[in-house]
Structure formats: structure tokens, C-alpha cells
Amino acid sequence: MTFLTLLFGQAALHKAGDVRRFSGYVADYGVVAPALALPVTWLLVVAEGAAMGLTLTPATSASGLMLMGALLALYGGAMLLALRHGKRHIDCGCGGATQPLSRLLVVRNAVLLALAGLAALTGGQPVAPLNLAVAILSGLVLWLGYQLLDQLLRLHSLRAQLSPDSVTP
């Protein structure tokens, strides 16, 4: 749960840091009318922040994890739709450097969705302080590993842009 909380906190801060730019990514997907891209972007920022905030207390953590799962399913579905419509060169809007849509990103979101579902099903149980400390530390390590994997995906996308014949994203 620590991992997902950190991930959603990072995502919300990234989107809130440049809402207009992110609304351009939302518009590029073609799922909402261009006039609605900015309000939808604000809605996503608030939903991600709320999901993160809900996971911080045991009484609401399952709700936060379910909201995270819903957002991940929404993002994955939007990516699949865009890919099916041939929009492989738009930025995913995942945060940081430009990263074009790919099947790998859809798989990544599916894994994150499964993780959120598993955490929601197993959460809410009393935890000993030592176990809690280990869980938090493990979540932090997992988040750092995710950051590394994310950079590898970005490099893969960059390589594909430089030599499209040698890499299939």
C-alpha cells in the first residue's frame, strides 16, 4: 500500500504542477471533448489526491485502494482505446519525460490495478508495529524499483523513436 500511495502522490503532484499541459495529454486521447479536457484534468488530480489521502488511515484505506484501482482501470482503458485508434505517438501523460503510448504501459497499468485490488482485499487487518515498519520500508523499496522500471520504459520508447525497425513497443 505504501508503494501505491507514493505512486499516486507523485502522479497527483505531477499533474497539479502543470494542469494545462496535462489537459493537453487528456485531449490527445480523444476520449473527452477538447472543451472538457481541463475540467476532467482537475477531476483526475483531485481523484488521485483523494485516493492517496484515503490510504493514509486504516478506516478509509480500502476505499482509497478501490479508487486507485478505478483510476488505473480508466487510464488503462483510455490507453487501449487510443492504441486501437492508432494514436501510438501521443504522450501517455504518465509524468516526467515524454513517453509515447505502448502495450507495455497498458500491461504496467494492469499489474498496478491487480496490486491495488490485492491490497484492498487484504488490507484493514491489525498489524504489529514491526510488521508495519517492514511493510512501509518494502513499499518504499518497491516504489524506487518502479521508478527504475519507469526509466527503462522511457529509454525503450526513446530507442524505438530513434530506430523504429529494431524495437517493437
Predicted confidence (pLDDT) per residue in 109-150, tens digit:
999 999 899 888 876 666 667 766 777 778 788 878 877 887
* In the chain, where the domains are located: 1-164
Across residues 1-7, what is the average pLDDT? 85
How far, in Å, CA of 41 to CA of 163, rounded?
33
Cβ-contact 106, 72 below 8 angstroms: no
Poorest-pLDDT segment among 32-46, 83-97, 148-162 = 148-162
The 10s digit of each residue's pLDDT in 44-94 is: 999 999 999 998 888 898 999 999 999 999 999 999 999 999 998 898 888
Q: Residue 118's pLDDT is what?
A: 87
C-alpha grid cell for residue 104? Answer: 507495455
Dist. CA 20–CA 39, nearest whole Å = 10
User: Does pLDDT of 167 surpass 60?
Assistant: no
Closest CA to 53 of 71, 72, 68: 68
Distance from C-alpha of 107 to C-alpha of 21, rounded to nearest angstrom: 25
pLDDT score for 57: 85
Structure-block grid coordinates of residue 6: 507514493
**Is 69 exposed, middle or buried (CB count within 10 Å of its CB: 0-12, 13-18, 19+)?**
buried
- On the question of pLDDT at 27 being above 90, the answer is yes
Cα(30)–Cα(59) distance, rounded to whole angstroms?
A: 37
Give the residue carrying C-alpha cell 478505478: 70
Distances (CA, A) of 69 to 7, 31, 59: 13, 19, 18
β partners of residue 100:
91
